Amino acid sequence: MRVAMYYNNRDVRLEEMPTPRIGPGELLVKVVASGICGSDVMEWYRIKSAPRVLGHEISGEIVDVGEGVHRYKVGDRVFASHHVPCNTCRYCLNGYHTVCDTLHNTNYDPGGFAEYLRVPGINVDRGVFALPDEVSFEDGVFIEPLACVVRGQRLARFQPGQSVLVLGSGISGLLNVALARSSGAGQIVATDVNEYRLNAARRFGADAVIHAEEDVPTLLRQANGGRLADLVIVCTGAFPAFVQALQSVDRGGTVLFFAPAQPGVDIPVAVNDFWRNGITMLPTYGASPLDIEVAIELIRARRLPVAEMITHRLSLAETGLGFQLVVDARESIKVIVEPHR
């Protein structure tokens, strides 16, 4: 089968490798659509395991079923989660599925930028979800990233009517904007350094946008009735955004760190302001099975206009171009690869 093999962000090669053989309890899935995630182009993170086949936002069709699998059959349309929790450790039992050791050591073979992938038994058991009839394969690539957004806003205890500031209007920022709008947010303000993405933020639910190099806290007050934001969501790894977040959250508010920074970056926190103003700071990573189920239902019910976020549909041979589009972050939002195109 053909795969897009990642060596670095500017070197993604179309190569051949054997189609995976499945064993008992496993599935072979034909990848119909696979989204390029912002984390796929975090070179400092990905280069350590290169060369490899990346891609974890997939939807596809089951083409072979291993012995002992009874819940799925050939022809089923599915989303498959690459990381799955054990659901039994102390972290899972306390709702912290994404710090589970099992979740960090599971994956499918080889990755979403391939014509086919093998879904291991543990992933079949707790990470395969049938696509409803109303959810297309293209819609399906949004399940994983939207589930991460669902988890973040759930942990942040977002409430209808709250004001929201989203720092960074790439795909994760836009999904956060769209989910907050769908969930009844009050004023939503988004930032970015790119005019194309600022316009996209307006289109997907932001009431106001601010160029990220301007005085964000001051302009936020002007857009939000003189107040800072109840919830600030950091959706970019750019260091200034982390500083802006702490300057832009209202008393009693929450800063949600959705995106990571480069290794070795420390956040400067004015401890007394943090203490006196009752600020909550929390990170979010990944999604639990519950968050995935919520994301599927949101997409099925058309609560978010995810299909409108797709800007590029590429063949497997064009995966390298897709990586460049995501790295350059100019006039692209969601880039998807269709391996059998």
Q: Is 135 helix (H, G, I), strand (E, B) or coil?
A: coil
Q: Which CATH number fits domain 157-283: 3.40.50.720, 3.40.50.80, 2.60.120.260, 3.40.366.10?
A: 3.40.50.720
Please check whether the two domains, 2-145+287-338 and 157-283, share a CATH topology. Answer: no
Q: How do the domains of the chain map onto residue ranges?
A: 2-145+287-338, 157-283
**Alpha carbons within 13 A on the beta-carbon side of 113:** 30
Q: What is the pLDDT of residue 264?
A: 87
Q: Is 120 helix (H, G, I), strand (E, B) or coil?
A: coil
Q: Where are the beta strands (DSSP E) in 67-106?
A: 77-80
Q: What is the pLDDT of residue 97?
A: 96
Residues ≥6 apart with Cβ < 8 Å to 58:
29, 31, 33, 34, 35, 79, 80, 112, 117, 140, 141
Which ranges of the chain have pLDDT less than 50? none
Q: Tokens 């600022």 correspond to what residue? A: 198
| Backbone dihedral angles phi then psi of residue 6, each to the nearest 5 degrees | -90, 125
- Alpha-carbon distance of 35 to 13, in angstroms, equals 17
- Alpha-carbon distance of 151 to 217, in angstroms, equals 26
* Tokens read off for 223: 């857009």
* Tokens read off for 248: 């832009």
**Alpha carbons within 13 A on the beta-carbon side of 70:** 1
Q: What is the pLDDT of residue 270?
A: 85
Q: What is the pLDDT of residue 257?
A: 97
Domain formed by 2-145+287-338, architecture: Alpha-Beta Complex (3.90)
Q: What is the pLDDT of residue 296?
A: 98
pTM of this prediction?
0.96
- Alpha-carbon distance of 307 to 204, in angstroms, equals 12
- CA dist 21 → 29, 34, 149, 209 (Å): 11, 21, 34, 50
According to DSSP, the residues that pair with 174 across neighbouring strands are: none
**Helix (H) and strand (E) counts for the chain?**
12, 15
| Backbone dihedral angles phi then psi of residue 116, each to the nearest 5 degrees | -140, 155
- The set of long-range contacts for 226-230, using a CB threshold of 8 Å and a minimum separation of 24, is 227/163, 228/165, 228/253, 229/163, 229/164, 229/165, 229/189, 229/253, 230/162, 230/163, 230/164, 230/186, 230/254
Q: What is the pLDDT of residue 269?
A: 86
